[in-house]
A = this chain, B = another copy of it.
Amino acid sequence: MNKYNRIFNFAAGPAMLPEEVLETAKNELMNYKNSGMSVMEISHRSSLFNDIITEAENNLRKLLNVPNNYKILFLQGGASTQFSTVPLHLLKTKAAYINSGHWSSRAIIDAKVFGDVDIVASSENDKFSYIPDCSNLNLSGYDYLYYCDNNTIYGTKFKEVPDSKGIPLVCDMSSCILSEVIDVSKYGIIFAGAQKNIGPAGVTIVIIREDLINNCREYTPNILKYKIHSDKNSLYNTPPTYTIYMCGLVFKYLLNNGGIEEQEKRNLEKAKYLYDYLDNSLFYKTLAEKNSRSIMNVVFTTGNKELDLLFVEEAKEYGLENLKGHKVLGGLRASIYNAMPLEGVIRLVDFMKTFEERHHV
């Protein structure tokens, strides 16, 4: 990492991008493929951009093994826009939501604008420190089942896909997409903001089963209609062209490095290295229940507010940044998304050891 004096960035998102991807972006910035233009300057209707978005879509399809009866959309507005777009399309009678943390709570608030929403499983009673049991939910009469797969703030993650009993399953995968092999065919809609594992902030990936595209309610703003974007292959209006180009570079990088299978192995190795150290430490404690742990966001604390703050400050001097926990929970958090190299996690654990030695009484 030293060539550019770069640090290890443990932020929850926007987050690190592969250095190789950034280098390509830098090299191509003034003149993309001898076009005499930057990607930021090329028309979204040009063949140059058509190649970029088509290749990005095809590579994402390959990476996640997306079946042919699913469309991939590159949209704007963040995952938060999907919190409204999903119920505008799917909520007819009532919707079932699993509440496992901050982001599902936000989705519930936004869905309630459009009709009845029931929370069919929740871990709110214990500060979202675990993933509720969703193996046998009563879903009769519901239009769809919604959940957020990985909870950045609480550091938890579903280990099993909830059984939606045949109704469409909708999943916010913003903070774990591309981190592990998934079976897309189990889902009705998967969506994800780009800024953790996909690319820079400003684009949202929506993977949607074709039969769910059409039936939005009457007063849906045209710009939020899946059908409009699907019919135009995400070129209904000017898309965030440069951001999509960056995502495409990330997809290529992943394919060139063994695809999601290998990325998942690397992620498990990084998480194991950090959790193993934490589990053997008498100084630090983790906050999420063991069998609900995220492999993307590792939440821990020294148990002492002032020490936690000191940890963040001293880590910074060690080239390890953004380790402060979310304000809702306090403590410390290491987000170790796809682009965080094992080297960064090893350096973090090295630092944690020296910090423990100096402060453990």
Contacts and interface: CB of A to CB of B under 8 A. Distances in A.
A201 to B, nearest CB: 5
Nearest to A84: B221
B30 A16 contact: no
Contacts of A218: 113
B14 A22 contact: no
Contact of A31 (B6, B31, B78, B80): B6
Interface stretch (A36-44, A92-100, A261-269): A36-44
B36 A239 contact: no
Contacts of A253: none
Nearest to A114: B219
A65 interface: no
Chain A binding surface SS class: loop
A251 to B, nearest CB: 16
B40 A17 contact: yes
Contacts of A240: 76, 200-202, 240, 243
Contacts of A246: 40
A193 interface: yes
A238 B199 CA distance: 13
Interface in A10-49: 11-17, 19, 22-23, 25-26, 29-31, 34-38, 40-44, 46
A201 B113 contact: no
Interface string A293-309: 00000000000000000
A29 B80 CA distance: 28
Given A81-B221, A84-B221, A219-B114, A201 B13 contact: no
Nearest to A81: B223
Contact of A202 (B35, B43, B242, B321): B242
Copies of this polypeptide in the complex: 2
Interface residues of A, number: 71
A273 interface: no
A131 B204 CA distance: 38
A140 interface: no
B40 A30 contact: no
Interface string A89-113: 0000000000000000000011001
A9 interface: yes
A238 B7 contact: no
A41 B13 CA distance: 8
A77 interface: yes
Given A37-B9, A77-B223, A201 B238 contact: yes
A37 B223 contact: no
Nearest to A193: B238
Contact of A237 (B78, B88, B109, B199): B78
A224 B222 contact: no
A113 B203 CA distance: 26
A241 B201 CA distance: 6
Given A14-B41, A40-B200, A88-B221, 5 more contacts: A22-B30, A43-B322, A81-B221, A83-B223, A84-B224
10 contacts: A6-B30, A9-B42, A11-B46, A12-B43, A14-B40, A29-B29, A37-B321, A81-B221, A83-B222, A201-B241
